Amino acid sequence: MGIFFGTDGIRGIVNTELTDSLANSCGNALGSLKPKNLIVIGRDTRLSGEYLTCSFSTGAMSAGANIIDLGVCPTPAIAYLTKKIGADFGVVISASHNKMEYNGIKIFDNNGLKLGDEREANLEKKFVSKVNMPTHKIGRFKQEFNLVSEYVKHLQSACKVKLDGLKIVLDASNGACYDVAPKVFKGLGAEVIKINCQNDGFKINENCGSLHPEKLVKKVLSSKADLGFAFDGDGDRIIACDSTGKLLDGDLIVYVLANFLNSTNSLKNKIVVGTQHTNMGVEKELNNLGLDLIRTDIGDKYVSQKIEQMGLSLGGEKSGHIIIREFTTTGDGLLTAVKLAEICKTLNKSLSELANIKLYEQVNIDYISKDKMRVINSENLINAIEEQKNLNPDARIMVRVSGTEPKIRIMVESKSLDTASICAKNIEKVVSSIDQTEE
């Protein structure tokens, strides 16, 4: 990670960490990378989206880049359309699952792939020196909101069956999928029930969507729906719900997809990409199918990089970033929802039947830290983690800093919930002690 770029682009509270000046500098740096850059830009629904779009675009245009503004659209739509129309870069103004006061900047290259750490670091170096082209070389700006319809057609073409007869609840988290998701599923013949599908800049991710699927479960049960899907604010994550109210996180979704792709001889090299957070139970079940799991660092760009390096078909994170490489280069919640519905329709089975596997118990604690880097590098914490590993040899322990928030993330996994809980709480106590101790 760089100074400004975290695990998923630049992220921060608007006009505190993420200012219009920073957005302008980022746009200027990106716009200066080559003559007459063509940059596609889109955003989620949050209030600050237009503000930061203008700041970023002004910076890029000052360096001579041309901008195509797609308006409100999901992150994966930007990745897809950047490559389709031959743009040099795609930019998303979004803070994904974060609260409305946050926003962020994500960047895709001309192949629809997120910039790696090295390219982000090199881009940051250009923030300090601004490029101002003479008047006749300043870039142009135009809006092409209708281009998003090409993404809708792309998703519909990825489904090989009609979804008539399926009743599906969609929770768009009042975010970027608010309009696109219902269009996709209605076009495929499904009966759609919408919740949290408003273009309201104040309500994005507010007790809804993939981080708060309780309303989705309630609506699926009350409406007797076959399926329910909850997305995050920018549409690159998904949590699924079956007709019984059972929730499927990214780990279970990856298992369902891997099993189906393997059965149709579509899973390249019989390898699935996960992360350090992927449940051990999923890994064991994949192994039982004759499949291997490769783990990467947390972050869907690392999953994507491994898929590209090895020429693989599928990868994902527990959080719900799922990459189905035949159709996309990045996490795409809506595409994943379409493929899950297709599998259920094709096999005439419910999601709970398809995901009937035993997971390990997993305890996750997010500790809000005053100085997360000081805590994570503390020798006391390193020693505490080793001590807990020695005391609980069957537990898998992971402690890391959030790449997008001021948090220390603690994950402990074990066959025993008590073991996982006690171990996680012991580590949290040490984290808290370090964080509250003055240097």
Residue numbers annotated as active site: 96
DSSP 8-state code for residue 17:
T
Measured torsion, CA atoms of residues 170, 173, 179, 180, in degrees rounded to the nearest 10: -70
DSSP 8-state code for residue 109:
-
> H helices within 225-332, ranges in order?
250-263, 280-288, 300-310
Nearest to 170 by CA among 160, 184, 157, 149: 184
Alpha-carbon span 395 to 407, nearest angstrom: 22
Are 357 and 282 in contact, with CB atoms under 8 Å apart?
yes
Partners of 130 in the β-ladder: none
Are 363 and 424 in contact, with CB atoms under 8 Å apart?
yes
What value, to the nearest 5°, has the Cα angle with vertex 7 and ends 280 and 53?
135
Sheet holding 102-108, edge to edge: 5-6, 9-13, 102-108, 89-93, 38-43, 66-72, 141-143
Q: Which residue has the tokens 């982000």?
A: 120
Alpha-carbon span 42 to 30, nearest angstrom: 15
DSSP 8-state code for residue 272:
E
Angle, helix 417-436 to helix 379-391, in steps of 10 degrees: 160
Q: Which residue has the tokens 């898929």?
A: 307
113: which residues sit within 8 A by CB, 6+ positions away? 79, 301, 304, 305, 308, 329, 330
Amino acid at 138: I
Partners of 275 in the β-ladder: 296
Q: Which two tokens stand for residue 131?
A: 């490029």
Alpha-carbon span 75 to 36, nearest angstrom: 24
